[in-house]
Each structure stands twice: as structure tokens, then as C-alpha cells.
Amino acid sequence: MNSRQLIRAILLIVVFGSLGVFAWQRSQAPASNPPVAVEAAPAPVVDAAAKADVVATYFTTNLRCESCRTIEALSQRAVVEGFPTEVAAGKVVFRVINTDLPEHAHYVDHYEITNKIVIVSRQRDGKEVEWKGLQDVWLHFHEPDTFLTYVRDPIRAFLAAK
């Protein structure tokens, strides 16, 4: 074996060894929250929302990342912990609606939904009379206290307007 063949063999060993180490490190690194296709929880019975004074809805799709799941959990927490008496009385309802389902596709046009969002709507006699889109949930989900206030404020305002 001449020196040229020896150098070539050493370089090949280094290259393939580096690729092996890289592949091993990638397999050991935690995932960076890739999107995951999951089935969204079905929306609660529509009658509950029809009887409520205020409905907070998290609109999602089949494709949900970790941030999406965090926004959903914080939105539910904002409603359930922020208005326990009203939730128990059925005056405030939180629900999750998957707009990828054909029966919910009409919400995309009605609310002009372009991505996952929380919509708070005021109802009177089972009909929506006013709504507010909370698009900035994406700006606040890393700050839970700010997020909770952001979602609760329009609910409070709609309850006071009744």
C-alpha cells in the first residue's frame, strides 16, 4: 500500500466516522417541537354554547405543534380558572373546534381565520351578537400571566355588556 492509498483510506475513515457521529448526535438530540398530526378534541355539544352568554373558542386544525397545544391549554385555563362560577352556571363556555373537519369549515369564512386563533363571542338568545379575534395569542403564549389576561379581558367585557 503506497502513501496515496493510505491517505485516501484515512480520509474515508474520518469522513464516514464524522457522518456516523453526526447521525448518532442527531438521534440523541431532543426534537425541536416538530408539527404533529393529531386529532383535535371534538367540540362540546353545540347546545352548551347556544345557551351561553360568552363562548371562547380555540380554532385549530389537524396539524398541531407544541405551541398550538400550549395555546389551547392556556386558553382553557384562562376560561375555566378565570370564570369558575360562570362556567359552572353555563354562562361561559370554552370549546375547541377543528376547522379541517368539513362540518366546521364555515367558521374559516365567518371569522376570516388564517391560522389557529381564539375567538371570544358574546351571545344573546343563542345567537352571536359580537365577537373578537385574539390573534395575539401567538405573541403571549410564552408569558402565561399576560396570556391569561389577554384572553380574560374580552370575556369580562362581554359579560359586563349583557
Residuewise pLDDT in 10s, the chain (162 residues)? 688 888 888 877 877 777 777 776 766 655 544 444 444 445 444 567 778 899 999 999 999 899 999 999 999 999 999 999 999 999 999 999 999 999 999 999 999 999 999 999 999 988 999 999 999 999 999 999 999 999 999 999 999 986
CB atoms within 10 A of CB 111: 16
Q: What is the pTM of this model?
A: 0.70
The CATH architecture that domain 36-160 belongs to is 3-Layer(aba) Sandwich (3.40)
Cβ within 8 Å of residue 153, ≥6 positions away = none
DSSP-derived secondary structure for the chain: --HHHHHHHHHHHHHHHHHHHHHHHHHHSPP----EE-PPPPPPPHHHHHH-SEEEEEEE-SEE-HHHHHHHHHHHHHHHHH-HHHHHTTSEEEEEEETTSGGGTHHHHHHT--SSEEEEEEEETTEEEEEEEETTHHHHTTSHHHHHHHHHHHHHHHHHT-
Cβ within 8 Å of residue 42, ≥6 positions away = 98
